[in-house]
């Protein structure tokens, strides 16, 4: 009998030790860069930009081809990333800093707070840009340093610490946000850049893109350094690494818009326990899925969790997973003066944009308006900006409906085409249901027009 009791005790100790080891072997790094597009990395097909860090992560992880932010604005997007809730529900409608003064509701439970409740060491480095601090509280704030690579070096102590508690590191570069910081990166010639179809192929645009390329490389240097630190600290094998950007590049036609250049973004994920690596996955995911995915990996999902997103951890090894064919987006503000609420449903083939304040001119972020690319467009009195007419960019109808297979650049609005009336009605129904499901205050606008 005593031997049996002793065996039970040993088994219990072994189980407890295994549980502790399992928890300690589930570290998380969430790497967020600022204003980077979906085609601006080697692993996404750009052979001009040098992104060795992201390319290495893609080789050892999963590269998503259909990943989307839910709002193409810095603070609002980050609030979604850290809560799993659309910004119209978490309250962070626009920018946090200065006179913009947006913030999330006090009762929101954010990712770092939920992980801390499960005994994670939580730390952030770099751009924060959400409020209030008590909602988005981290145990530690790591010094930024002079560059992303230097900031990564400052994270070494957290990663290499002799601790039986796992860590969550939220690492955010200011690059490649305007003004484009390029120190330490190569000088890319304007003639060598790849001008995407939504931008004008002008000398001014090429010059700005060359500066942007250098800033992307600078952002990647931090990831490259951080991956090396994880390897040196013997944590590459037990750390989930997620690389994303908050929204599209800081050019008119991308950032602040919910056209694909503004919301379709890079996402590369390395799950050390995934069955396959080097996977290219076409699941349609959004930044509302980031918090549920990380909590799933950490085995820290609260009971009765009510996130708007869902974990994509289970599809990382699948190139064409079923049931990931539709996403939603919700944008209201960027700067406080930029009220232009839009709601979006996007399927594989179609996108519907509801411009709720369509009677207003489309507003400009100050840095986008002042950019050489846009000022050159104004000075030249160009009719087109990329493939879109300038007039259509500035003045938008109530609904924009696009067939993305026939019109991937979203310039041929089918909303008033009777032959697409059934598709319009179907997507409007989906959009209304999404707004009701997520308690969107702007759902009431359907009744007033």
Query: Quick check: helix, strand or coil at residue 30?
Result: strand
Cis link prior to 244 (omega < 30° from 0)? no
The pair of three-digit structure tokens given for residue 370, joined into one six-digit string? 């002042």
Q: What radius of gyration, in Å, describes the C-alpha atoms of the chain?
A: 22
Structure tokens at 427: 């997507």
Q: Are strands 264-270 and 239-245 parallel, antiparallel or unpaired?
A: antiparallel
d(CA 370, CA 368): 5
- What span, in angstroms and rounded, lies between the C-alpha atoms of 64 and 80? 19
Nearest by Cα to 137 from 104, 91, 181, 100: 104
Catalytic residues: 74
Nearest one of 265, 255, 206, 263 to 54, comparing CA atoms: 265
Residue 395 contacts by C-beta under 8 Å, 6 or more apart in sequence? 361, 362
């Amino acid at each position: 009998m005593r031997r049996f009791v002793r065996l039970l005790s040993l088994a219990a100790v072994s189980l407890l030790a295994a549980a502790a080891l399992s928890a300690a072997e589930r570290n998380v790094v969430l790497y967020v860069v600022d204003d980077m597009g979906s085609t601006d990395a080697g692993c996404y097909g750009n052979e001009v930009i040098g992104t060795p860090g992201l390319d290495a992560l893609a080789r050892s992880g999963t590269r998503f081809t259909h990943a989307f932010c839910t709002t193409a604005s810095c603070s609002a997007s980050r609030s979604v990333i850290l809560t799993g809730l659309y910004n119209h529900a978490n309250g962070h409608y626009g920018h946090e800093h200065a006179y913009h003064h947006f913030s999330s509701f006090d009762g929101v439970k954010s990712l770092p707070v939920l992980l801390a409740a499960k005994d994670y060491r939580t730390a952030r480095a770099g751009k924060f840009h959400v409020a209030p601090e008590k909602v988005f509280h981290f145990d530690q704030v790591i010094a930024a340093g002079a560059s992303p690579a230097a900031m990564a070096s400052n994270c070494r102590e957290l990663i290499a610490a002799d601790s039986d508690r796992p860590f969550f590191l939220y690492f955010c570069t200011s690059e490649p946000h305007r003004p484009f910081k390029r120190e330490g990166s190569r000088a890319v010639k304007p003639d060598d850049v790849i001008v995407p179809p939504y931008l004008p192929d002008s000398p001014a645009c090429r010059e700005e893109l060359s500066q942007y390329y250098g800033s992307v490389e600078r952002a990647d240097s931090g990831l490259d350094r951080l991956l090396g630190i994880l390897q040196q600290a013997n944590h590459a094998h037990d750390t989930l690494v997620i690389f994303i950007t908050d929204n599209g590049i800081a050019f008119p036609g991308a950032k602040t818009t919910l056209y694909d250049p503004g919301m379709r973004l890079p996402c590369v994920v390395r799950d050390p326990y995934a069955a396959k690596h080097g996977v290219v996955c076409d699941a349609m995911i959004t930044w509302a899925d980031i918090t549920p995915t990380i909590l799933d990996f950490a085995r820290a999902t609260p009971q009765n969790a009510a996130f708007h997103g869902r974990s994509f951890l289970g599809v990382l090894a699948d190139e064409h997973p079923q049931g990931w064919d539709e996403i939603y987006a919700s944008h209201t503000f960027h700067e406080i003066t930029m009220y232009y609420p839009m709601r979006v449903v996007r399927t594989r083939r179609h996108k519907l944009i509801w411009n709720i304040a369509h009677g207003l001119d489309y507003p400009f972020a100050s840095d986008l308006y002042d950019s050489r690319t846009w000022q050159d467009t104004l000075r030249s009195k160009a009719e087109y900006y990329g493939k879109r007419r300038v007039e259509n960019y500035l003045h938008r109808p109530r609904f924009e409906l696009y067939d993305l297979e026939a019109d991937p650049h979203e310039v041929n609005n089918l909303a008033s085409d009777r032959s697409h009336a059934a598709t319009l009605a179907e997507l409007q129904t989906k959009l209304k249901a999404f707004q009701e499901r997520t308690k969107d205050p702007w759902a009431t606008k359907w009744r007033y027009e």
